[in-house]
Amino acid sequence: MSATTTVTAAKKQVVIVGGVAGGASAAARLRRMAGPDKCEITLFERGEYVSFANCGLAYHIGGQIKDRDRLFLATPQSLVDKFQLDLRMKTEVIGIDTERKEITAVALASGVKSTMHYDALILSPGASPTKPPIPGIDHPRIRFLRDVPSMDAIKALVVETKTQTPPLPVLVLGGGYIGLEVAEAIVDQKLPCMLVEFADQVMVAADPEMTHPLHQELVQQGVDLRLSCTVASFTGADNHVIAKLTTGEEVMCSFAVVAIGVRPEVTLAKQAGIKLGERGGILVDEYLETSAPSVYAVGDAIEVKDYIGGFQTLIPLAGPANRQGRIVGTNLFTEGKKLTYKNTQGTAVCKVFGMTIAMTGENEKTLKRINRQYNKVYTHGMHHASYYPGGQMLSMKLVYDPSDGRILGAQAFGREGVDKRIDVVAVAIRSHMTVFDLEDLELCYAPPYGSAKDPVNMAGFIASNLLRGEFNQIHAEELKALLYDEAKVHQTFVLDVRQPEELFGGKIINSINIPLPELQTRLHELPRDRTIIVACGTGLRSYNATRLLCNKGFNAVNLSGGFRTWVTVTDNGAKKWMKSVVGTHVATTDSCSVSASGVVVSSSQVNGGVVVSTKPPQEIDAVGLKCPIPIIRTSRAFSTMDPGDTVIVTASDPSFQNDIPVWCRSTGNTLVKLEQVTQGTRATIRKGIIIETPQEPLTSASAAAPTEPVTVVKEVDATGMQCPGPILKLAQELSHLNFGQCLAITASDGGFAHDLPAWCRSTGNSLLSLDKTKDGHRAVIHKGPSAAQSAARSAGAVMTTATSSSSAAAALQSLPDMPLGISSKKKTIVVFSNDFDKVMAAFIIANGAAAMGSQVTMFFTFWGLTVIKSKITPVSVKKGWLDSMFGYMLPAGPGAMSKMNFFGLGGTMVKNVMAMHKVATLEELIDNAKQAGVRFIACSMAMELLGVAKEELIDGVEIGGVAMYLAAAEEGNVNLFIG
């Protein structure tokens, strides 16, 4: 009988380099898969903290996480006790011999080196903050946030800065996740903060228009936001740093935090000969194994494949790092099928004060870069049932493959419910769902939590309707290109179906307003020979209008996302965000002629961190041009400019020096300088209204008491209402008050604080205060002009100094030449003569009014019909002998007028003189008027009397009677008869 020999398998030696998310997760999973009798786990950590909440560091600086110890997910001793690890703290691995399967480590305290064999090696070195090559970057008051010691150092500087009187601002360089979190932390510590970002938007992982509300939120919270610039150099002393920006400005700050991104820690891997990927990270396969046998890598140091695009990328997120550690820990001891890492889709969320932005999958920028076919839809709705109190606006963008509807990505922003919706879409992407599947998702619903048609469902409805061909849409950037294309603008017809009360906050240039409830009865006002682009606030009412029009035989398309998306696309991060007189930062919008969103502050406020555009002034040479061409060219230039940009116009026309100040006041721009030069008059104009503000920044402590007693007679609760609900509610409630009475209104809608000042100014009411509350904003409105406002206007004040939030709000009302009551910018002109000089006068005035932002209607009757009569009579027009006789006697077109003056010689002589003096021809003025959206109406009665058929008129002319004319005249404030 032979003896039985028992062979004990040797323990597997697993070495892990680096703790925190990836390394600690791998260690824990390894121990769960294999006990100490099968596996020895040695974890090297060069720092003194092996497992801490890296993502919570900024929140401890800001004070949200008060107990520092809560950041430590596990202590070294607890890991040893729980998982039987050989934990080597403050020990750095400095070399790997992949052939011998051996690492070399050094104890940082003693400098003693040691070697260790491994059967499997897991690299989790993480990523380090990117250190830009900026002169002075090594100054001791310039910090990077990466770990607990760096957090402690920044917090110590915060404590020191709070002892300064007054405290210097803290500069944060970089507007990504870390930069935004640090900026919020600084503000939460009641310190001034300047955020500098090289791109024209913060959060570059999102599309530009989706970051628009983040910019608003940052500046509303007091962050001095600087976009499209960076720091050129740092200098300083022991207690401050001077940052010189690429704009040329020098900013003295207490200290700076650099957060422009991270780069993978690959030094150790590179020295060991382990392959790196095209993006500079450690290259791994689907099992997370590197090019070296038995060497694995996880976390921020590795390159991963993009889930949608399949390209190599770097996505330093905690969630993927934890899952990667778990996969490696499982595979080293599994006897079944090994787990694979199924790529990264970049699902992420970020808190920016009260706002949340989240995303998953591809953004539009990436899809364009990889040349991937896509379409997109926008939704704007409440995060739960609108009738339940506390609802907040939630906006979502969904991108999908137009060939099959597969979901490619999504982004959302709002104050509540954002993460829930993006999580749903993230699962849909992993499940290879299409937009049709989103229609059928059954999601939680109760009024406090959601809507019967969830925002995710709504995105699916819209995209699916598009794919089924139920309607067509146009995107804001496409519409903007049409409106600013001189060759195409006259072919574009934009119909705004919002209520008139909603237009105070801005409108799309050249748009015509017909409220949706009136559309059915006003179809005769719409052209059938052009595509009608339909817009509303969010895209819902315009969708209904688009369906109505298509059913009636019109060619109509819907503006995706409505005016809310239009504003974010046409006025995004590239705009220079300025501080307004109501103590918030807002941006003016180029979507309407009057700056409806706010005002631009004077560049004299250097300490407050206010920037006026650094672009060189645009020069306009209007020498030799006659009225109204200089004004028209100025207006066109401003339509494509950013707030704060400057134009210098030189004109020889003598009327220009009187016209340009009026134009500036009417359009909400600032005439900086008006001077006489050799060529005539030179005007320097800045886009936006400049109001002087105090040198010291406003604080609640320094705010002065209102100059007049305020008694609020009614409190209005508009929380939960989305735009335009709060404004419409305000208008309704204010109509019941007597002049001089005040009401207060509280609204949660994000745009309310920006819309309200413009509404008050437009309606002649006074905004006495605008304060941020936990529910949104609370405003006190005085019906009619306040006593201070009336006094300021009586004194003819040109500039107003705001000393508090209340007086600042009143300052907005005291701008010169602002009419009380509703200021209608509509003009009507009746043309019933074809005398050349009279028609010229009519079109000069019409073009000038349109350039000043007015809606102009021209009513042509009797001999005035010749102005809009085509030179070519269509063959299809059949007439009786009397109509034919009138048609023969009636000249056609502007070139055929004034034939009775010296048998036509008089008109010819006048035109020759006009050409010599470079006066625009009548044909040019008519074309300019059409492009500016001037409305042409032909008198139906006169057409019948004179035998003029509709087909004989130039394109774009409407047919109407006296009622149509009187309706336009009653809406306007100027009515001219030219005959």
Just list the catalytic residues.
627
Structure-token pair, residue 389 = 């109190």
Structure-token pair, residue 443 = 């999601």
Strands 776-782 and 766-773: antiparallel
| CA 410 – CA 420 distance, rounded (Å) | 12
784 conformational bin, left if phi > 0, alpha if psi -120 to 50, beta if neither: left
| Strand, coil or helix: 29 | helix
Q: Which residues, at least 6 apart from 406, have a Cβ–Cβ distance to it below 8 Å? A: 400, 432, 433, 434
Distance of CA 357 to the CA centre of its chain: 12
Structure-token pair, residue 662 = 């009026």
Q: 447 preceded by cis ω (within 30°)? A: no
Strands 102-107 and 532-535: unpaired
Torsion of CA 790, 795, 800, 806, to 10 degrees: -30
Candidates 136, 189, 133, 144; CA nearest to 164 is 189
Distance of CA 444 to the CA centre of its chain: 30
The edge-to-edge listing of strands for the beta sheet with 12-17 is 86-89, 39-45, 12-17, 120-123, 295-297
**Contact at 8 Å (CB) between 716 and 733?**
yes
| CA 916 – CA 958 distance, rounded (Å) | 35
Candidates 467, 379, 475; CA nearest to 421 is 379
- The residues that bridge with 976 in the sheet, in sequence order, are 829
Q: Which residues, at least 6 apart from 551, have a Cβ–Cβ distance to it below 8 Å? A: none
Strands 600-601 and 618-622: unpaired
Structure-token pair, residue 46 = 């060069």
| CA 562 – CA 508 distance, rounded (Å) | 10
3 state SS for 282-333: ECCCCCCECCCCCEEECHHHECEEECCCCCEECCCCHHHHHHHHHHHHHHCC
